[in-house]
Structure 1
Amino acid sequence: MKLPDTEHTSRPWRIHEIAPDFRLYDVWALPTPGGPDDFARLIRNTTAGDTSNSPSWIARTLFAIRWKLGRLFGWDDPKQGVGTRVRTLRDRLPQDLRDAPPGPEFERLPFTSVYLTDDEWASEMANSTVHGVMHLSWVPDTEHGGYRGQMAVLVKPNGWFGRAYMALIAPFRHVLVYPPLMRSISKEWRESAGRG
C-alpha cells in the first residue's frame, strides 16, 4: 500500500543525514507481517529478487524494454554507475556506519549495499538517468500488530534528462510496476516463511 511521505520523513532514519539532497519519490508499506526479528528475512528476499520473474507479464515486459533501451542508449554503461559518474553514498557515512558491514549484495539487480542497521538498510544504484536509493526499514505495524517492512525510494535525477525520465515513468511505476511487485513480495514472504 502506498503511504504518505511522512511515514518515512517523520522517522529518525539514518538515511536523512546521508542523502539530504535526494528526493523522496515513493513510500510503500510492504505486505511482510512478522515479528521483531524478521528484518533479515526481508533483506534476504530482496537481494534474491529479479525483475524477470515478476508474476505480472506487463511488469516483466516493461523491465525487459527498459533494460534493452539501457543497452541500446548506454544508460546502464558502467561509466554511468556508482563509483564512476557518482560517488558512492558510503563516502558520506558517519564513522559508526562506515565501520560496520554494509549488508548483503544483490544476486541479480544492479544495486549495491550502503549500510545496514537493526531496522534499516539502504542500497544504491546509478545510471545515466538517476542516482537512486532503495531504503528498506522494519517498523511496528500499528494497524495489525507486530511488524512489517517499509520501502522508500529516493532519487537524485541526472539533470533535465533524469527529471524527464522520472516524470515519464511515474504513471507506469505506480499503476503497472508497484502493484504486481507488492503481490510478488507478499507471495515470496509467505513462501519464505514456509521454508523457514
Structure 2
Amino acid sequence: MARLPRSAHTRHPWRIHELTTDFRVEDVWTFRTPGAGPGDFPAMLAAMRTSGGLARQTRPVRFLFAVRWRLGALLGWDRPAAGVGARVGSLRDRLPGDLREAPRGPDNDAMPLKAVYETATESVRELANATVHTVMHLGWAQGADGDHELRMAVLVKPNGGFGRLYMALIAPFRHLLVYPALTRQWERAWRDRDHLAARAGRL
C-alpha cells in the first residue's frame, strides 16, 4: 500500500465525480495486486468479500471499531435519524439512468457501508451518521509498473464543525492502524484469491 496524492483520484475519469461535487477527497491509497489485468476487478472484489472482513482484522483494529460503535450508541451518533435517507439523501438518488440500472453489489448487516453502484472498474459505498457522510470509492486503474491495481479513495462531507473535528481526531488511527491493516488483508486476499474462491464454493 502507498498513499497517493488526491490528484490520483480527481484526475482519473471515474463516474463518482458526477455525484460528489459537494464532497472532499480525504484519503487516496493504492494496494498492490501483482499480475492483475484490466478485467480483474471483479475477481479482486470477490476475494475481498471472502477474506473475512472486520472479523479477520487485528485485535487493535477490532478494538478501535468496538470503541467507536460503543461511543456511537451512547451518544446517538448512529441513530437512524442521522443516517442515509434521513439526515442526508443517498447518493443513489443522484445516479444517472445507466448507473441506476447497474448492479449495486451485495450488502450485509456486518458491513455498515452500503452499496451505491458497481461497474467493471468502480465500486462505491456510503455511510452517514451524526458526524459525517462518507463515501468509499474502490477503483481499478493501471499502475506505474503496467499491472492494474486497486485504489481506494475516501470522500467526506463532515456534519459542521463537530464533523470536521471528528475527522481530524480519527485521522491518526486511520493512517497508523486501520489502513495498514486493510493493506495486509486486501493484498493477501489478492494473493490467495484462488484459494478463497475455492473455499467460498464449498460453503
TM-score normalised according to structure 1 size: 0.91
SS at 2:125 equivalent? strand
**Cα distance change, pair 107–187 in 1 and its aligned pair in 2 (3 A):** farther
Q: Is the 8 A contact 1:47 1:104 kept in 2?
A: no
State the percentage of identical aligned residues: 52
1:51 and 2:54 are equivalent in the alignment: yes
Q: CA RMSD in A?
A: 1.6
Q: Is the 8 A contact 1:47 1:107 kept in 2?
A: no
Q: Is the 8 A contact 2:189 2:196 kept in 1?
A: no
1:28 and 2:29 are equivalent in the alignment: yes
Which stretch has the larger CA shift, 99-108 or 133-142? 99-108
Quote the Cα distance in structure 1 between the aligned partners of 2:48 and 2:110. 10
SS at 1:142 equivalent? coil
Q: Which amino acid aligns with 1:189?
A: W
Quote the Cα distance in structure 1 between the aligned partners of 2:45 and 2:148. 14
Quote the Cα distance in structure 2 between the aligned partners of 1:21 and 1:45. 32
Q: Is the 8 A contact 1:135 1:151 kept in 2?
A: yes
SS at 2:3 equivalent? coil
2:154 corresponds to: 153
> Residues 126-185 of structure 1: CA distance to partner in whole angstroms, max 9, x if unpaired?
111111100001111222x32111100001111111111001001111112111211111
SS at 1:42 equivalent? helix
User: 1:57: how far off?
Assistant: 2.2
1:16 corresponds to: 17
User: 1:99: how far off?
Assistant: 2.3
Q: Is the 8 A contact 2:48 2:189 kept in 1?
A: no
Quote the Cα distance in structure 2 between the aligned partners of 1:47 and 1:81. 24
1:73 and 2:70 are equivalent in the alignment: no
| Number of residue-to-residue matches in the alignment | 194
1:181 corresponds to: 182
1:98 corresponds to: 100
SS at 2:192 equivalent? helix
TM-score normalised according to structure 2 size: 0.88
Q: Is the 8 A contact 1:52 1:63 kept in 2?
A: no
Q: Which runs of 5+ in 1 are unaligned?
A: none
